[in-house]
Structure 1
């Protein structure tokens, strides 16, 4: 039988490419005659460019940009067939700063703007910015500043959300002119607005270090910024992605596309699913957030369209079978349940391979 293996990264332990290889290794132990097709996936967050480069080829442009606290960080921009792919987490990702050193009220997205400019300078006519895994919550103000937006007073947009209350005016025209003739796409894994109870700060702020007693104040900082830039766009789906980077991209004319759908089309996942007998996806934690915009739900939707069964392999499975099936997942298997939490973290690739071998007992012909 033909098995399509299309997992996301297992955050903190395995890249999507490594996860796909581990699943394939374990599956072959049980079913060596099965034909395995590996298609690592991403939804716009960390691994976005690696996954696309593995499938599309193209050139990797090495750049050095500003990190979340102004320090230089290395990054790469993928350019393939006139389209550039920018992984925002490379410039402002949560993984760039140790947990004890995070200060989300000071972190900036300036480096993302610098990556976009590098893509434009390389001649790209379309720039796709993957959003996800950010450690920032500045409404994309830093990115806009790097693109040429003018703030009064100067520099207020480069200091994270803490600098936003000082703003008296924002001129976006220079940034829009700098991007004239370029099609900009925001690839998001969430559809939250910028502000309010389901906005960037309230929902995602805590994982970046925004404390409960500061959420309302930080949200108010973004609200003041939106009042100067465009309050209506703050309500748009995806505006709250990556701490408001989605909002900033919309301000300069970007269209929004679900990251998983964009990647699926780019790597030809629908055609591969139609040619398969079984589709396997996976991620570190298969939970309620997996149901919308994430890789497992996106891969399961493609499998359903192709009329093929889909199963999930995960570090942990935190939802029941009923919720699973609403996503389109027939069964989900947990590394922690099979080998224990300690072994899962000590040897993630080996544990995932063992889990795949276990799943093959049931699913391989």
Structure 2
């Protein structure tokens, strides 16, 4: 019996990881009805991070009343697994919580993410894993830190917070940008959160000032570390104030599901994303899966709705690279969920095993 692993990222705005996986599995089974198809919902720390962990591991969802980026009350969730908490910052501080007209990173706050951390700590969690994708904020994590101070120091100062001693934080991010400058959080990411050029300049200056003051306080400066610019500078706050480790989100998830064990005896892995090109090779989810599969000499098929840089993808080690959409298919039709599902089914049934 052939063993096929399916681990496809979400097609943003179209299909979740689980939906894409299911369509691929159906296509495989049309051609290979006796195959053992193992579906693994995946995320690199952004959209679907919590759902991926929940599907792959045990635990319970905890509901918490928190503040959204505009300080409005909303219900958010995190996953509790014994003394480990898995947090997706987009649940409390996400861009999708704001309408396009509401997006303003000058005022949007990460306060709600801090409230999720506070709740997890109060429930006895000693290990906190945080997915940093999909933020609607660019406040360097100041809002998150303020929520922690408000809860544990009665609004005093950070030095009065002692409840986090002995708690280990790990942030999941594939963003390597520093906090400030040309490649920093404000310059690269704030425009998609509603920032004008003038706002970008002001946000970058605010981040630089915050980092300088923080460095004077602690005696070290982590604004250049990998991940510092993630989630509007939330990465920096975790690194500087919470001594977090930063790891690629896909590695954290694959470790959690014991992916290396699942690879034993597999005939093929199918992964994918909405659009694949040379940037896929810069630490994105399908590339992380490829690196694991290479260790076990398992071939990897990459599927996507749009593909460029075919040769670079082949040179990186993908054994097959397949666009699910016919060349003449209009974009508006291609992104319809039912169309995408059917094209994934056709692709995996007709081309992946030639």
TM-score (norm 2): 0.91
Deviations 1:197-217 (A, max 9, x none): 111112212221222343222
- Aligned twin of 2:32: 31
C-alpha distance in 1, partners of 2:231/2:74? 18
C-alpha distance in 2, partners of 1:10/1:270? 25
Q: Pick the aligned partner of 1:323 from 294, 312, 319.
A: 312
Indicate whether 1:190 and 2:152 are aligned. Answer: no
- Aligned twin of 1:223: 208
Q: For residue 90 of structure 1, report the CA deviation from its aligned partner.
A: 0.6
Indicate whether 1:174 and 2:160 are aligned. Answer: yes
Q: Confirm or deny: 8 A CA contact 2:277 2:313 kept in the other structure.
A: no
Q: Confirm or deny: 8 A CA contact 1:49 1:78 kept in the other structure.
A: yes
Q: For residue 268 of structure 1, report the CA deviation from its aligned partner.
A: 1.3
- Aligned twin of 1:103: 104
- Aligned twin of 1:262: 252
* Runs of 4+ that moved beyond 6 A: none
- Aligned twin of 1:209: 194
- Aligned twin of 2:124: 123
C-alpha distance in 1, partners of 2:340/2:245? 40
C-alpha distance in 1, partners of 2:325/2:197? 30
C-alpha distance in 2, partners of 1:241/1:82? 26
Number of residue pairs the alignment of both structures matches: 345
Q: Call closer, same or farther: CA 1:259–1:174 in 2, change over 3 Å.
A: farther
- Aligned twin of 1:158: none
Q: Pick the aligned partner of 2:236 from 240, 247, 257.
A: 247
C-alpha distance in 1, partners of 2:97/2:34? 42
- Aligned twin of 1:294: 284
- Bigger CA drift: 306-315 or 122-131? 306-315
TM-score (norm 1): 0.88
| Residue segments in structure 2 that go unaligned for 5+ positions in a row | none
SS at the partner of 1:6? strand
| Residue segments in structure 1 that go unaligned for 5+ positions in a row | 156-169
SS at the partner of 1:248? helix
Deviations 1:304-334 (A, max 9, x none): 11211111222222x2122213443233323
- Aligned twin of 1:161: none
C-alpha distance in 2, partners of 1:216/1:291? 30
